[in-house]
C-alpha cells in the first residue's frame, strides 16, 4: 500500500467513526417524539455495605422534595432502580430534575424493599398541581 493510499484509508476510517451514532435508526428530521415515562437505572457503587446488600432497604419519604433531591435520597438509601413519571399525565420527560417537585412515590415511604426494587417517583413541574 502506498503512503497516500494508507492516509486515505485512515481518513475514511476516522470519518466513519465520526458519523457512527449520528441520528437514530428510522428517524425522520423534525418528526415529533412521544415519551410517556422515563426510567433511570444507575449502578450502585462497587463497595456496598453488608447490611444493605444482605437485607431489605427502607424506602425514604421524598414527599414535596425537588426531584433531584428525591433521587439523591433514594440512592443514599441504596435504591438505584428509579422510574420517573409526569404526575400531570402529559407524558413529559423530567429533564431538569430541580424544576420538578415530588407528588407521589411507589412503594410508600417506610416500606421495606429489596435493593433492586423499582421505585416510581411521580412529579410535576414546580408551580403545577
Supply the pLDDT for residue 129.
Answer: 73
Within-domain flag for 19: no
99 within a domain of the structure (yes/no): yes
The answer as to whether 15 is a domain residue is no
pLDDT tens string 59-92: 999 999 999 999 999 999 999 999 999 999 999 9
Per-residue confidence band for 34, with pLDDT thresholds at 50, 70 and 90 = very low
Residue 44: per-residue pLDDT: 61
Which of 65, 70, 66, 48 minimizes the C-alpha distance to 57? 48
Q: How far is CA 125 from CA 15, 35, 56, in A?
A: 42, 16, 32
pLDDT classification of 10: cutoffs 50, 70, 90: very low
CA 120, CA 129: separation in Å to the nearest integer?
18
Using the predicted structure, report yes or no on whether residue 112 has a pLDDT greater than 60: yes
Q: Residue 39: what pLDDT?
A: 56
Q: Is the pLDDT of residue 120 over 50?
A: yes
Q: Taking a C-beta distance cutoff of 8 angstroms, is the pair 58, 115 a contact?
A: no
Q: How would you classify residue 76: left for phi > 0, otherwise alpha for psi between -120 and 50, otherwise beta?
A: alpha
**CATH assignment of the domain containing 47:** 3.30.10.20
Let me know if residue 111 belongs to a domain. Answer: yes
Domain that holds residue 93: 36-125
Split into its structural domains, the chain has a count of 1
Please indicate, yes or no, if residue 28 is contained in any of the structural domains.
no
- pLDDT score of 19 more than 80: no
CB atoms within 10 A of CB 48: 12
Mean pLDDT in residue range 50-58: 69
Q: Does the pTM exceed 0.75? A: no
Domain membership of residue 70 (yes or no) is yes
Q: Which helix (H) or strand (E) holds 76?
A: helix 67-76
pLDDT at 51 over 60: no
Residue 100 lies in a domain: yes
Domain presence at residue 3? no
String of b and e for 90-113 (b: at least 16 CB within 10 Å)?
Answer: eebebeebeebbbbebeeeeeeeb
Pairing of strands 119-125, 100-106: antiparallel
Amino acid at each position: 500500500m502506498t503512503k497516500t493510499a494508507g492516509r486515505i484509508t485512515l481518513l475514511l476510517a476516522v470519518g466513519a467513526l465520526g458519523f457512527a451514532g449520528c441520528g437514530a435508526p428510522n428517524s425522520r428530521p423534525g418528526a415529533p417524539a412521544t415519551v410517556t415515562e422515563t426510567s433511570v437505572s444507575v449502578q450502585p457503587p462497587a463497595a456496598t455495605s453488608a447490611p444493605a446488600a444482605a437485607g431489605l432497604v427502607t424506602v425514604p419519604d421524598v414527599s414535596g422534595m425537588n426531584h433531584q433531591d428525591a433521587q439523591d435520597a433514594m440512592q443514599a438509601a441504596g435504591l438505584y432502580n428509579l422510574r420517573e413519571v409526569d404526575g400531570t399525565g402529559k407524558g413529559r420527560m423530567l429533564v431538569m430534575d430541580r424544576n420538578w417537585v415530588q407528588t407521589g412515590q411507589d412503594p410508600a415511604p417506610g416500606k421495606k424493599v429489596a435493593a433492586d426494587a423499582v421505585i416510581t417517583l411521580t412529579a410535576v413541574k414546580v408551580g403545577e398541581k
